[in-house]
Amino acid sequence: MLGTAKNITVSSNGGKWFVSIQTEREVEQPVHPATAIVGIDVGITRFATLSDGSHIEPLNTFRKHQTRLARYQRAMSRKVKFSNNWKKAKAKVQKIHTRIANVRRDFLHKTTTAISQNHAIVCIEDLQVRNMSKSAAGSSEAPGRNVRQKSGLNKSILDQGWAEFRRQLEYKQVWRGGEVIAVPARNTSRTCPACGHVSAENRQTQAKFGCVDCGYEANADLVGAINVLERGHRLLACGVGAVRPSAKQEPAEATKREACSCIAP
């Protein structure tokens, strides 16, 4: 164990016990071995599209286990609550949830490690995942619209683990001496990277981008990644630098970025 132990936490999850040890030690300021900068657009059809043209397919771990999970949940609901059979059924449900979480976490760790190792600066969209995945059910006085479709979209968004993806990227870049720059997400998929024309009609389909002004065509997710990279370059030129806010600092940082004149609306 390196350093002085400062905190030891014992926890239980999915029927297994874990010990986490936090230590403190002096380390030199790291210098990132890479020099590349990349923009990343996250999505559902493609988990992540990089501005260099490569992309990462989604894992969709919840979707793969959804049918089995629902079957065990139905079996659990038919048991007498807190009976031995109910506890056994509950353990099976918890085991599947743990499996889903572990597979997703493993996928995110491998993905973020590969991106962090190869890029000194990573530009991402400043997505508010909690707001994006809010329920559309509304209330009895003001019922929502397309509730079932929105519910399916919310499950797909949460299944990707975008917030955890960003968290892992940020601390791994700190470890390696790199940076993560979060840029405003508005119109990244509607702005033409060739002429700068912004229009909802540019996004012809979920996958196809076609500028109605200059005729530029490309994959819509790739266009988003290119625009994220371009906005990252602008923030660097303005001297804003890396964005690593805590939860309490996010509103102030967001205001700072919105006020920055180098970012196009």
Residues with catalytic roles: 41, 125, 221
The helix (H) or strand (E) run that includes residue 7 is strand 4-13
Rounded CA gap, 36 and 245, in Å? Answer: 23
Q: Phi/psi zone of residue 15: left (φ > 0), alpha (ψ -120 to 50 degrees), beta?
A: left
Helix, strand and coil in the chain, % to nearest 5: 45, 20, 35
Instruction: Give every CB contact of residue 45 below 8 A, 6+ residues apart in sequence.
Output: 58, 206, 207, 221
Distances (CA, A) of 75 to 48, 81, 119, 128, 193: 36, 12, 48, 36, 52
Tens digits of residue pLDDT in 234-257: 999 887 655 444 334 444 444 344
**pLDDT value at position 129?**
77
- Is residue 185 over pLDDT 70? yes
Q: Where are the domains of the chain?
A: 4-259
**pLDDT value at position 148?**
64
Residue with tokens 């007498």: 80
- Is residue 230 over pLDDT 50? yes
